[in-house]
Amino acid sequence: MLENLKQELTDQINNANSLDELQQVKVKALGKKGSITLLTKNMKDKSIEEKKILGQAVHSLKEYIEIILKQKELFLIDMKIKDDIKKDKIDIFLPGVEFHQGSLHPLTITRNEIEEFFISLGFEVARGNEIESDEYNFEKMNIPKDHPARDMQDTFYFSEEELLRTHTSPMQARIMERNAPDKPIRVIVPGKTFRRDEDDLTHSHQFMQVEGLVIDKNISLADLKGTLELFARKMFGPNTQIRFRPSYFPFTEPSVEVDVTCHICKGKGCSVCKHTGWIEILGAGQVHPNVIKNCGYDPEVYQGFAFGMGIERIAMIKYGVDDVRLFYQNNLNFLKQFDKLK
Ligand code: PHE
């Protein structure tokens, strides 16, 4: 009788074509009212000897059925996976997922290029704080409280003493004080600066500058000119020329404004250079003896030059950008154009 049941269940397991069908066979054999389970229940009235023989036979039948159920189950799972893969068609015309790679901001590209140039000349790069004191932003730079030059740089004040720096020049004083009285200095300081200007095509209340400072014995305006000439050629092309125009800054004497030949018209005159052939790029000069003295060097022995340029202005000239506000709006169509300039 057990042989018949064994054969019957084996056939049913072999014939099961899906995991569902197999589950039904399993319940019919091993479930609470399954054929194998019932066999053990009916043993009550048998003698001990019979119970022993039948018990062993049922047990080995149960083990056998469990093993072939498991094998069939694994087989059917495997079949199902293969079947699913076959049904799964790949649509090769489906558009791919676009992968947006970020790129450096044009102001970062320009700042990096400026830094690389000055590092190649042996300059160090220093950074300062955006919050400055009135003392360093103005007083130490030879701009006392009632000085008219304060009107040129309308200032965001936190208090009478604390402000957002209007230029990177206060770092001149901080670096000189660190190195006084006799260490030579070659440094640039890039960073954010702030002025209470109305935002328009060429003004922004927040912008970036790079300060340059050289302090040593026997430094003259010729050193400044040579340095800036190399700089202009690196930034705007090998045929670029520069010129100095007399100017005024309280912390330099003499002071100059520096122009480069217009790289669009090569000096012939066009709308970019307002038909002059020249474009102003920065302010500079010999460090004022008062500043040198204020910061702990002897102006009779040490001289130096300093310059300050707007990174936005350099980038606008270099890339032909006519509205400074474009740098801060984060319009991807604008920013993407600088992708390849990294
Ligand atoms: N600090 C000046 C400005 O912001 C620029 C400058 C720096 C001029 C150093 C001369 C020397 O306008």
pLDDT tens digits, 217-249 = 999 999 999 999 999 999 999 999 999 999 999
Which residue has its alpha carbon closest to ligand 1 atom 2? 308
pLDDT beyond 70 at 330: yes
pLDDT tens track for 184-218: 999 999 999 999 999 999 999 999 999 999 999 99
Distances, alpha carbon 201 to alpha carbons 20, 63, 205, 316, 325, in Å: 74, 87, 12, 11, 7
Cβ 172 under 6 angstroms from ligand 1: no
Cβ 169 under 6 angstroms from ligand 1: yes
pLDDT tens track for 251-300: 999 999 999 999 888 888 888 888 999 999 999 999 999 999 999 999 99
pLDDT beyond 80 at 44: no
The answer for residues whose C-beta is within 8 angstroms of residue 146's C-beta and 6 or more apart is none
Cβ 110 under 6 angstroms from ligand 1: no
pLDDT tens track for 79-106: 999 998 888 888 889 898 888 788 899 9
- Cα(209) to centroid(ligand 1), Å: 9
Cβ 228 under 6 angstroms from ligand 1: no
Q: What is the mean pLDDT of the chain?
A: 93
Cβ 284 under 6 angstroms from ligand 1: yes
pLDDT tens track for 15-42: 999 999 999 999 999 998 989 888 887 7
**Ligand 1, pocket-test mutation among 167, 244, 253, most atoms within 8 A of CB:** 167
Residue with tokens 């309280």: 250
Residue 322 in 3-state DSSP? coil
- Cα(144) to centroid(ligand 1), Å: 16
Q: Is 89 exposed, middle or buried (0-12, 13-18, 19+ CB in 10 A)?
A: exposed
Query: Counting atoms of ligand 1 from 1, which one is nearest the CA of 172?
Result: 9
Q: Compute the distance between CA of residue 254 and CA of residue 15 in angstroms, rounded to an integer.
A: 103
Cβ 308 under 6 angstroms from ligand 1: yes
Query: Counting atoms of ligand 1 from 1, which one is nearest the CA of 284?
Result: 10
- Cα(126) to centroid(ligand 1), Å: 17
> What is the pLDDT at residue 291?
97
- Cα(299) to centroid(ligand 1), Å: 20
Which residue has its alpha carbon closest to ligand 1 atom 7? 308
pLDDT category at 1 given cuts 50, 70, 90 is: low
